[in-house]
Chain A
Amino acid sequence: MKKAAIDEAQLLKEFEEKIEAEVKIEPRDWMPDAYREHLIRQISQHAHSEVIGMQPEGNWITRAPSLRAKKILLAKIQDEGGHGLYLYSAAETLGVSRDQFLQWLHEGKAKYSSVFNYPTLNWADIGAIGWLVDGAAITNQVSLQRTSYGPYSRAMIRICKEESFHQRQGYEIMWKMMEGTKDQQRMAQDAIDRWWWPALMMFGPHDTDSPHTSNAMKWKIKRESNDRLREKFINKTVPQAELIGLKVPDDQLKVVGKDQMGEPMYAHGDIDWDEFWRVVKGDGPCNKQRLDHHINAHENGKWVRECAYAYQIKTNNQ
């Protein structure tokens, strides 16, 4: 496409008018380089998170306490793999290949959500992940359904339809444990004690410290700020904890008012930002294990890709 002298300022103006009018941007439309780059980073990070997130839960498939629990966990983890694939497909529409995304992940150039660098120590952690980690992810993803990039928005709509089962199955695990023995109640409380803060960290830095927020909001890639989404999650989740007798591990948590629906709104303590940045920069409990496992799985699967390709050539079944 070598159309001479297309005025870039005019294209940018038309692009921003579409954004203003809530018209979705599609892969073949003109877009500013910075918009494309932001999407490539954000969608691939989102895809990697879905796939790496299969590991901490996969740790408990063989030790699920019942066949029912095992089938549910398998279905949930399969969904996460599917969500990764929706998102890789959306990211590829921006002109980057699937292999390139994996290479950036393996080289440490692309990130995934830090929450998956924490270990799952016992069965209660599976409940806490579904309820808190998926709950935080849903809060973010519901907002992203309205993102300005068409393929990303469509992937988010599909994912949100599937996610609410994830959160409910996690909350059910926690509830059942709180109805159980003293030991089970202690396990459930221990799980929320360890997962509450990492779940809040999933929303990212404060808006004032978030390097990518301003363009992302201007171009409607993100629709709500990190802090706003974090507050929504806290307001929704604290009453759920209290209902089943769990204590949220935040001494500064208190009701400060009611929203329009009459639901409580909370003031809360601040995240340990030193820990946040330490884990983001690679020094969390499981960073190395998660990445090594992904690299090994990819390399060990190479012969399958080679066989499939050889079969395609041999049968000319394309």
Chain B
Amino acid sequence: MQSTENQGKLWEVFIQAKPGQPFKHAGSIHAYDKEMAIENARDVYTRRNEGIALWVVPSDAIVAVTASEASSFFTPAHDKVYRHPTFYDLPDGVKQM
């Protein structure tokens, strides 16, 4: 997998737009090492001050749920409506909670 092919391996790019905000996935780039990856990410994804911080992550280090497993994988959340605040009744007198 690691060779000169494909202009280096694949990295995923995450950008933080402003302090306090979460990092968001922006896209991917190719690079041969960490330093090249972070510089390529800067040049490709932040030419107009889109971010104040950057992460690059080797794509093969990301663990994901496969599409075919997804529906059963997330089933445990389906029948727990009591986790949402709207599940609960409140007496009429309560103004804010």
Contact = CB atoms under 8 A, between A and B. Distances in A.
Contact of B7 (A78, A90, A98): A98
B32 interface: yes
**Chain A interface mostly:** helix
Interface in B1-33: 2-10, 27-30, 32-33
A3 B67 CA distance: 12
B74 to A, nearest CB: 14
Nearest to A75: B47
A92 B9 CA distance: 12
Q: Which of under 10, 10 to 19, 20 to 34, or 35 or more describes the interface residues of A?
A: 20 to 34
Given A1-B66, A99-B5, A155 B33 contact: no
B79 interface: no
B3 to A, nearest CB: 7
Contacts of A302: 4
A79 interface: yes
Interface string A303-316: 00110110111010
A309 B32 contact: yes
A16 B48 CA distance: 37
Contacts of B34: 317-318
Contact of B32 (A1, A3, A311): A311
A82 B44 contact: yes
B51 interface: no
Given A29-B67, A30-B67, A79 B32 contact: no
A89 B27 contact: yes
A224 interface: no
A118 interface: no
Contacts of B4: 302, 305-306, 308-309
Contacts of A162: 47-48
Interface string B79-91: 0000000000000
B35 interface: yes
A224 B53 CA distance: 38
A28 B33 contact: no
A315 B47 contact: no
A155 B27 contact: yes
A309 B36 contact: no
B6 A311 contact: no
B48 A82 contact: no
Interface in A67-103: 75, 78-79, 82, 85-86, 89-90, 92, 97-99
A312 B9 CA distance: 11
Contacts of B3: 309
A154 interface: yes
B59 to A, nearest CB: 10
Given A82-B43, A86-B44, A97-B5, A312 B33 contact: yes
Contacts of B68: 1, 3
B47 A92 contact: no
A75 B36 CA distance: 21
Contacts of A306: 4
Contact of B67 (A28, A75, A78, A308): A28
Interface of B: 2-10, 27-30, 32-36, 43-44, 47-48, 58, 64, 66-68
Interface of A: 1, 3, 26, 28-30, 75, 78-79, 82, 85-86, 89-90, 92, 97-99, 154-155, 158, 162, 302, 305-306, 308-309, 311-313, 315, 317-318
